[in-house]
Amino acid sequence: MLQTIPDQLAISLPVVADFQGTLSRGVTQDLGLSRLSFVTDTPSPVGTSLSVLFHFGRNVAYMPLAGRVTAVTEDADVSPAQFRIDIELPSLGEAERRVLESAFQELAAYLDSLGAPDGVARAAARAELVTANPRSILSLFITDNPFALPYRLPLGAERLPERAAQPAGSGPLPSATMRSEQAPVAAPIRATGAERFSWSLVGEGLGLAAQLLRDLAIRFLPGPVARLFVTPISFAFIGHPRMLDDVPRKFPFARLLPTRMVERWFRYQWPFVASYITGLTMADGTPTTGAMLISPLTTEQMIRNPRLARQRVLQTVRLAEKMGATIAGLGAFTSIVTRDGRDLEGKVQLGLTTGNPHSAAIAVQNVLEAAALTNLSLPHATAAIVGGAGSVGSSCAKMLARLVDRVIIIDIKKDAVQTLLTDLAGQPAAVEGTSHLDSVREADIVIAATNNPYILLTAAHLKPGAIVIDAAQPKNVSEEIPRQRPDVLVIESAVVCTPDVDVHFDLDLAQGEALGCLSETMILTAIGWHGHYSLGKADPALAAHMIASGRALGFRLAQFRNSTGYVTDEQLSTIARARMA
């Protein structure tokens, strides 16, 4: 029989808060069954609806409750400003009440032990609370993000329902098929025998050749005249083929050509339109159209000839200008090869953005949700960021240093690492830098965000229960890890649900999804942004702005996926159990 517990406990437990994409760390002041309060440096408007997740020590993965902000009080005597946020919880169900009452009883016993004169007894009581008690509360995660988190009973109590294999309203996980600007085309797979040729490829090839000539002519025509030959656009996204096998996504007949010929063709190819992007609506409700434009060099070609790569990117941006775009996003290696867009400043008239703030924000948002779903208490966790001194990586480091216990910056650029360590001095997390990938084995959270086009992380680098976010394009995380290590959660990051938006080109995503760098361009277009947005290293303030603006447009995190498909509840439970073991 449970003993009576105090209605309200005055206890300090770590809190991680996400208010409109602005992340902060706080500490509870009061904790009860119907209300709680905590102190942090980020306010939330009174009346905001919240999800309050309790992270428990063992057995219970998490328990989300609905809450509402009832009061926000600023402490004017401290700098920087601190805010006490009072939250009211609705009436609890019987299961939630029993779990929380038991947890509060344990906390009350721990508080009583603090008065013991014997320091050994106090230490033993804390160790019992954190490591042995199945219902000890380690921390809270409080967010106004409206994603739905299912209630989970104690692990192993019953078979947990699996997540749907695909998002509601979508098709299956995308195959290798894709859509060109005009119509679906075949997958980028080398055919053999009689399948290597069909007359339909001839007709389609002639149409694509005519389009290429049009796109070349547009570069030399005045803007008003050029827009008579194309669909006028308000925004553009600049992409490129990751490898030569991507070329048939737009040009199916490339499957018939020798690889050396395709490589030489794209070395001299001028920029062209890959597809039009439809379905985006401005803030005033006006529909608008964008375009995906291709800067035709592969990642390897860009690395071998960065001068030519910068020239191609500049030509592609100028094609966007001729088509009427007022802002362009630099995708994948087009950002890296132009020093995060800085090499283009003063050379173009439209606004530029790298997509790095949104990519960093999505990576960290994936961390927050994955931690909630696998019972990882962020204030007690270690995060490693591979490529941590780069644009996306440094922004992730600055956001996570406010939330976790320890951050490991892994990068070969030692001077940049040292600069970042100086910037992060004074943050709650202990921050250290290294150039050795072996340090990844110490991390509960791993974010890969390098500009290296090769695989860096393999199954041997990871500890059981690790959450791995691959935020790099091209990918840095081996596709074999989910098959080799079911005790590790790999998430391919930078994917956003963009309702009603259709890119009309296969990016290995489901219908209604887009890459983070592309969605940043769409968000800026929708809110009417003018001028450059993010050039150089990503700013965490811009990352928060992107999340808040995206949520207002209905943009949300996409469902977790990796090389094996969508992640299920059962797999999440496996990760939680692996970490507890």
Alpha helices in 227-355 (DSSP H): 259-268, 299-304, 306-322, 333-337
Whether the pLDDT of residue 78 is over 70: the answer is yes
DSSP notation for 478-504: -TTHHHH-TTSEEEE-SEEE-TT-B-S
Section 148-156 average pLDDT: 44
Per the CB < 8 A criterion, the answer to whether 534 and 332 are in contact is no
Checking DSSP bridges between strand 35-40 and strand 272-281, what pairing results, if any? unpaired
User: Could you tell me the CA-to-CA distances from 189 to 174, 195, 251, 434 in Å, in that order?
Assistant: 15, 11, 12, 40
HEC readout, 527-549: CCCCCCCCCCCCCHHHHHHHHHH
Bridge partners (DSSP) listed for residue 143: 18, 51
Instruction: Write down the pLDDT at residue 196.
Output: 64
Tens of pLDDT, residues 415-427: 999 999 999 999 9
Section 328-334 average pLDDT: 93
Rounded to a whole number, what is the distance in angstroms from the first to the last CA of the chain?
A: 30
Q: How confident is the model at residue 345 (pLDDT cuts 50, 70, 90)?
A: very high
- Report CA torsion sign: 329, 345, 549, 356: positive
HEC readout, 359-417: HHHHHHHHHHHHHHHCCCCHHHCEEEEECCCCHHHHHHHHHHCCCCCEEEEECCCHHHH
Instruction: Write down the pLDDT at residue 162.
Output: 38
Q: What is the mean pLDDT of the chain?
A: 85
Q: Which of 341, 249, 264, 329 is CA-nearest to residue 301? A: 264
DSSP notation for 416-467: HHHHHHHHTTTSSSEEEEES-GGGGGG-SEEEE--S--S--B-GGG--TT-E
Q: Percentages helix, strand, coil for the chain, rounded to the nearest 5?
A: 35, 25, 40
User: Could you tell me the CA-to-CA distances from 578 to 376, 477, 575 in Å, in that order?
Assistant: 11, 20, 5
Tens of pLDDT, residues 126-142: 666 655 555 678 899 99
Mean pLDDT is lowest, of 85-99, 276-290, 315-329, 385-399, for: 85-99
Q: How confident is the model at residue 486 (pLDDT cuts 50, 70, 90)?
A: very high
Distance CA 42, CA 25 (A): 9
79 token code pair: 């700098």
User: Which contiguous run of DSSP H or E holds residue 523?
Assistant: helix 516-526
Whether the pLDDT of residue 56 is over 90: the answer is no
Per the CB < 8 A criterion, the answer to whether 173 and 510 are in contact is yes
Instruction: Write down the pLDDT at residue 129.
Output: 60
Residue 343 backbone dihedrals phi, psi, to 5 degrees: -70, -15
Distance CA 214, CA 226 (A): 9
Q: Which of 480, 412, 488, 398 is CA-nearest to residue 450? A: 412
Q: How confident is the model at residue 180 (pLDDT cuts 50, 70, 90)?
A: very low
Name the more confident of 313 and 581: 313
Q: What is the DSSP-derived secondary structure letter of residue 521?
A: H
Mean pLDDT is lowest, of 97-101, 114-118, 291-295, 397-401, for: 114-118
What is the b/e burial string over 278-311, where b = at least 16 CB atoms within 10 angstroms of the residue's CB? Answer: ebbbeeeeeebbbbbbbbbbbbebbbeebeebbe
Instruction: Write down the pLDDT at residue 91.
Output: 77
Distance CA 477, CA 106 (A): 41
Cis peptide before 134 (omega within 30 of 0): no
Task: Please give the single-letter amino acid code of residue 422.
Answer: T
Checking DSSP bridges between strand 137-143 and strand 14-19, what pairing results, if any? parallel
Distance CA 357, CA 547 (A): 9
Per the CB < 8 A criterion, the answer to whether 409 and 433 are in contact is yes
Instruction: Write down the pLDDT at residue 161.
Output: 32
Whether the pLDDT of residue 163 is over 60: the answer is no
560 token code pair: 């977790």
pTM of the model: 0.85
Most confident of the ranges 393-397, 473-477, 505-509, 577-581:
393-397
Q: What is the DSSP-derived secondary structure letter of residue 227?
A: T
Q: Which residues contact 105 (CB under 8 A, 6 or more apart)?
A: 2, 3, 5
Section 60-83 average pLDDT: 85
Mean pLDDT is lowest, of 36-45, 199-208, 353-362, 496-505, for: 199-208
Angle at the Cα of 440 from the Cα atoms of 435 and 442, rounded to 5 degrees: 120
Mean pLDDT is lowest, of 1-5, 243-247, 468-472, for: 1-5
What is the b/e burial string over 198-220, where b = at least 16 CB atoms within 10 angstroms of the residue's CB? Answer: eeebeebeeebeebbeebeebee
